């Protein structure tokens, strides 16, 4: 990678939150030197930080200059990766190289394993081996040659990991480029372009709140600072473990962090509330009630953030409960493409051989694709296959369904001869059933034979993609969907997902230049990697409540921040060593590889940034985990907050029994519902209203259920359905929840 003489940045130290944005505002104003059209490039750690910066700079409300201050004219905001793309992508495109994706790297890793697996020979075909090496490839691509040699000398396993990742890079180099190649090309462009061109395109470089700069990113930014003026706005917490990554980033930029004195946390009893709940589910319900309470008091929804330490279970629960409360939200999507209609159907199709084309799997796939289509008799097919005795395997689908169809035909023939007293309507119904069974047999055999033929021998990637699309189209046609195309009445999220799945298949079709013909298992694993990506975002940033991981805390400016999961095991999350490259071996890379145990400090920094992001805070603690039937210990950082709020040391053990105005204990779900100032959802309203909700049909039905079960009489709630008009549950395919309803 080319290097340039480093010029130290001007370093501005600031706390996180609003002070950091004011420092950025001042740095931009100073860089423009009174000329509103003077170019300035602000490099941010993530896209959401860039959006926050642009909006607040454009608002003209930051800093002492007020509306007269220069705003966003000629100010470009980009991540380090995006800046590298702007500067270097054209050079690589001219050379005929394309950007890699995870499946492309996986194909190159498989080729390296096929050529010489080394220590990994016994597990070379295991999906976990491939996934671990793909992750290692991303990390090792940022190492210098010396660090790679040192790491390879740590042992046989480390040597083979380095060798396999290096071989994968060699396979990709002729036609593909990764982020390391992109940064190198960008740095070459910086060295080759005249200063005037750089000054006109980039201008003054402002690095805003660097967090965990990679070596290649720091090299590019330092190369720009060698030819252009540069400023670093560095956020600090004053705590060594929390600031370790930031200090390392500054060292890679060729500068030193300014001395920082640890300051008290930005919390006080009047603006910080600690809430203790029974478990994570009730924690989310309580958080939604507090959001609603704040909104009713006048806090705009877009000025509220719900942040969590771990995706499971908080990501899904927050979106579901906010939707139930009718509260608009935005943030990171929690549903991968594999869980959408199109993505899930493709993976279900490829998974049919796992259980030998089991009846439930085949008909479940047809039901999923049919999506309520009236032309697909999936419910009737389920009854026919069950009556025929189909369990799994080609023989069942072929012989048993053929025998069943022939039996229906013979019964119809006997009825026509008048031997059993059946009328013509019954005869026609049996013939229709025979035709329906034969149609199911044809559909099932097409699936079995199509997949079996694809398993017989390897095939090119483009051929695999075409085959999958053709087979999926056959399934969709059989289920009554028009060629499997997304429908206009689908939710926008599903339409967007269908487009992404189609793009993923197009990317897989281009892998023939990297790897040779692929087996169906390898093709399926690669597709799973592609569809493991999420849908991006829910809503638009700044519209509704922000729901995001705690990593979003850096750079935010809000009125209220709610942090969920303030318990050990969530904040901080457990530290698990890397199976391929444990921390003891990572240290051999001369500080160029992050250590797994550094995650604790990273979580600490994000908690501190969340507290600084708003003047009001709610910190939520689950006392237990009902899913795992265990108790949770309050986070060490929550105990630090409680110590400052109480004015004396508070241990994690003492926090549970503490009685203070800023500490609210919610004993149970029932207590939370009955004591809340305002119910968040219709369900909570009905639960709290109970019998007092006169005329409410749902409340009356619930009361009748409880009364019936408590009585000594044998009621319909105990299983007595005599005289009750209950539709047959076998007339349609339905979920267990719908059947219960």
SS (H, E, C) 594-626: CCHHHHHHHHHHHHHHHHHCCCEEEEEEECEEC
Contact 676, 290 (CB under 8 A): no
- 406-461: per-residue pLDDT in tens? 999 988 888 877 766 677 888 888 899 999 999 999 999 999 999 999 999 999 99
Give the strands of the sheet with 40-44, arranged side by side.
Answer: 10-14, 230-235, 204-208, 40-44, 75-79
The answer on pLDDT for 169 being more than 90 is yes
pLDDT of 6: 44
The conformational region for residue 335 under phi > 0 = left, psi -120 to 50 = alpha, else beta, is beta
Place of tokens 């209950």: 726
Task: Pull the structure tokens for residue 472.
Answer: 């999926």
CA distances from 165 to 169, 296, 374, 399, 574 (A): 6, 55, 52, 50, 27
Rounded mean pLDDT of 298-302?
A: 94
Contact 193, 217 (CB under 8 A): no
Contact 678, 292 (CB under 8 A): yes
Place of tokens 């695999």: 464
Rounded mean pLDDT of 82-99?
A: 93
Q: Which segment of 144-148, 212-216, 462-466, 541-545 scores lowest on mean pLDDT?
A: 541-545
pLDDT of 492: 78
Distance CA 437, CA 381 (A): 7
pLDDT of 2: 41
User: Which has the closest alpha carbon to 415: 428, 402, 432?
Assistant: 428
- 690-714: per-residue pLDDT in tens? 645 556 777 778 778 888 888 888 8
pLDDT of 231: 95
The answer on pLDDT for 549 being more than 60 is yes
167/36: higher pLDDT: 167
CA distances from 445 to 65, 449, 477 (A): 74, 6, 15
Distance CA 552, CA 46 (A): 9
The answer on pLDDT for 490 being more than 80 is no
Distance CA 70, CA 204 (A): 14
Question: Partners of 12 in the beta sheet?
Answer: 233
Contact 235, 609 (CB under 8 A): yes
Strands (E), 61-135: 75-79, 98-99
Task: Pull the structure tokens for residue 704.
Answer: 């009748």
pLDDT of 730: 56
Q: What is the Cα gyration radius of the chain?
A: 31
Rounded mean pLDDT of 368-396?
A: 82
Task: Pull the structure tokens for residue 84.
Answer: 């590298």
pLDDT of 420: 61
Place of tokens 């530290």: 575
Task: Pull the structure tokens for residue 246.
Answer: 């930031």
Task: Pull the structure tokens for residue 446.
Answer: 């097409």
In the DSSP assignment, the letter for residue 486 is P
Q: Quick one: what percent of the chain has pLDDT higher than 90?
A: 57
- 198-211: per-residue pLDDT in tens? 999 899 999 999 99
584/695: higher pLDDT: 584
The answer on pLDDT for 63 being more than 70 is no
Which residues neighbour 133 within 8 Å (Cβ) at sequence distance 6 or greater? 109, 113, 161, 164, 165, 168, 580
CA angle, 97 then 99 then 103, to 5°: 120
Rounded mean pLDDT of 309-319?
A: 90
Mean per-residue pLDDT of the chain: 87
Binned at pLDDT 50, 70 and 90, residue 494 comes out as: confident
- 655-676: per-residue pLDDT in tens? 888 889 999 999 988 888 888 8
Distance CA 561, CA 415 (A): 74
- 496-530: per-residue pLDDT in tens? 888 889 988 998 988 887 877 889 998 998 898 88
Binned at pLDDT 50, 70 and 90, residue 484 comes out as: very low
pLDDT of 76: 92
User: Which has the closest alpha carbon to 181: 102, 81, 43?
Assistant: 81
The answer on pLDDT for 68 being more than 70 is no
In the DSSP assignment, the letter for residue 55 is H
User: Which has the closest alpha carbon to 463: 500, 426, 518?
Assistant: 518
Which residues neighbour 297 within 8 Å (Cβ) at sequence distance 6 or greater? none
Strands (E), 532-611: 537-538, 545-549, 560-564
pLDDT of 633: 93
180/422: higher pLDDT: 180
Rounded mean pLDDT of 35-50?
A: 91
Helix H or strand E encompassing 13: strand 10-14
Rounded mean pLDDT of 306-330?
A: 92
The answer on pLDDT for 548 being more than 50 is yes
Distance CA 687, CA 323 (A): 18
Q: Which segment of 77-86, 182-191, 532-541 scores lowest on mean pLDDT?
A: 532-541
Q: How many C-beta atoms lie closer than 10 Å to residue 358's C-beta?
A: 16
User: Which has the closest alpha carbon to 145: 101, 180, 97?
Assistant: 180
The answer on pLDDT for 651 being more than 50 is yes
- Residue 361, φ and ψ in degrees, nearest 5: -70, -45
pLDDT of 486: 59
- Residue 446, φ and ψ in degrees, nearest 5: -60, -40
Task: Pull the structure tokens for residue 722.
Answer: 């005599």
Looking at the chain, the number of H-run helices and the number of E-run strands are 30, 17
Q: Write the DSSP assignment of 393-456 as a string of letters.
A: SHHIIIIIHHHHHHHHHHHHHHHHTTSS---HHHHHHHHHHHHHHHHHHHHHHHHHHHHHHHHH
User: Which has the closest alpha carbon to 342: 582, 86, 530?
Assistant: 530
Rounded mean pLDDT of 119-143?
A: 92
β-strands 537-538, 176-177 pairing: unpaired
Q: Write the DSSP assignment of 460-479 as a string of letters.
A: -HHHHHHHHHHHHHHHHHHT
Q: Which segment of 10-24, 78-92, 254-268 scores lowest on mean pLDDT?
A: 254-268
Give me the half-sphere count of Cα atoms (radius 13 Å) on the Cβ side of residue 244.
14
User: Which has the closest alpha carbon to 239: 211, 265, 274, 210?
Assistant: 265
- 390-409: per-residue pLDDT in tens? 999 999 999 999 999 999 99
Task: Pull the structure tokens for residue 366.
Answer: 């047809």
pLDDT of 295: 95
pLDDT of 419: 61
Place of tokens 């790897």: 515
């Amino acid at each position: 990678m080319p290097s340039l003489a480093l010029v130290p940045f001007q370093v501005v130290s600031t706390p996180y939150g609003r002070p950091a944005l004011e420092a950025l505002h001042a740095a931009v104003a100073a860089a423009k030197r009174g000329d509103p059209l003077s170019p300035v490039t602000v490099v941010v750690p993530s896209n959401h930080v860039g959006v926050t910066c642009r909006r607040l700079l454009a608002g003209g409300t930051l800093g002492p200059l007020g509306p007269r201050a220069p705003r966003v004219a000629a100010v470009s905001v980009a991540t380090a990766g995006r800046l590298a793309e702007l500067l270097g992508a054209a050079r690589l495109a001219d050379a005929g190289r394309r950007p890699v994706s995870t499946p492309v790297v996986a194909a190159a890793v498989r080729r390296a394993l096929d050529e010489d697996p080394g220590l990994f020979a016994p597990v070379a075909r295991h999906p976990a081996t491939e996934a671990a090496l793909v992750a290692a490839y991303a990390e090792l691509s940022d190492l210098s040659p010396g660090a790679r040699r040192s790491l390879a000398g740590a042992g046989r396993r480390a040597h083979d990991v380095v060798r396999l990742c290096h071989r994968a890079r060699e396979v990709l180099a002729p036609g593909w480029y990764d982020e390391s190649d992109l940064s190198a090309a960008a740095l070459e462009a910086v060295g080759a372009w005249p200063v005037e061109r750089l000054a006109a395109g980039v201008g003054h470089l402002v690095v805003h709140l660097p967090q965990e700069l990679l070596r290649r990113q720091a090299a590019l930014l330092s190369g720009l600072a060698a030819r252009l003026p540069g400023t670093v706005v560095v956020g600090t917490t004053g705590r060594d473990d929390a600031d370790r990554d930031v200090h390392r980033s500054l060292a890679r930029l060729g500068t030193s962090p300014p001395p920082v004195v640890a300051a008290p946390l930005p919390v006080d009893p009047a603006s910080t509330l600690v809430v203790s709940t029974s478990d994570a589910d009730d924690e989310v319900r309580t958080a939604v009630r507090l959001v609603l309470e704040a909104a009713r008091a006048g806090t705009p929804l877009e000025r509220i953030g719900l942040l969590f330490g771990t995706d499971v279970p908080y990501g899904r629960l927050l979106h579901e409960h906010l939707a139930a409360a009718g509260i608009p939200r935005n943030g990171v999507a929690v549903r991968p493409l594999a869980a959408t209609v199109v993505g899930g159907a493709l993976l279900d199709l490829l998974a049919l051989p796992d259980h030998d084309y089991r009846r439930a799997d085949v008909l479940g796939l047809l039901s999923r694709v049919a999506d309520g289509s009236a032309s697909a008799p999936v419910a009737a097919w389920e009854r026919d296959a069950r009556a025929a005795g189909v369990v799994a395997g080609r023989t069942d689908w072929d012989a048993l369904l053929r025998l069943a169809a022939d039996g229906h035909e013979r019964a119809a023939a006997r009825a026509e001869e008048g031997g059993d007293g059946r009328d013509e309507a019954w005869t026609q119904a049996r013939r229709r059933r025979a035709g329906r069974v034969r149609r199911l047999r044809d559909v099932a055999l097409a699936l079995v034979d199509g997949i079996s033929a694809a398993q017989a021998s390897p095939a090119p990637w483009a051929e695999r993609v075409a085959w999958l699309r053709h087979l999926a189209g056959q399934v969709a046609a059989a289920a009554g969907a028009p060629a499997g195309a997304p429908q206009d009445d689908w939710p926008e999220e599903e339409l967007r997902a269908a487009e992404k799945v189609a793009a993923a298949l197009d990317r897989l079709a281009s892998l023939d230049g990297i790897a040779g013909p692929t087996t169906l298992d390898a093709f399926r694993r690669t597709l799973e990697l592609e569809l493991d990506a999420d849908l991006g975002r829910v809503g638009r940033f700044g519209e509704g409540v922000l729901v995001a991981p705690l990593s979003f805390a850096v750079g935010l400016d809000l009125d209220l921040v709610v942090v969920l999961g303030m318990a050990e095991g969530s904040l901080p999350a457990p530290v698990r060593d890397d199976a391929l490259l444990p921390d003891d071996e990572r240290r051999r890379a001369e500080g160029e590889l992050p250590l797994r145990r550094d995650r604790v400090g990273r979580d600490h920094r994000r908690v501190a940034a969340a507290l600084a992001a708003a003047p009001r805070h709610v910190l939520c603690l689950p006392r237990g985990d009902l899913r795992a039937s265990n108790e949770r210990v309050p986070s060490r950082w929550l105990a630090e907050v409680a110590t400052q709020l109480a004015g004396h040391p508070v241990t994690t053990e003492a926090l549970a029994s503490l009685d203070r105005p800023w500490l609210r204990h919610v004993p149970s779900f029932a207590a939370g519902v009955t004591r809340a100032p305002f119910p968040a959802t219709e369900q909570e309203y009905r639960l709290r209203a109970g019998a007092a909700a006169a005329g409410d049909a749902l409340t009356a039905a619930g009361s009748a259920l409880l009364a019936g079960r408590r009585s000594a009489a044998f009621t319909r709630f105990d299983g007595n359905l005599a005289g009750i008009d209950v539709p047959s549950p076998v007339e349609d395919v339905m979920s267990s929840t719908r059947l219960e309803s």
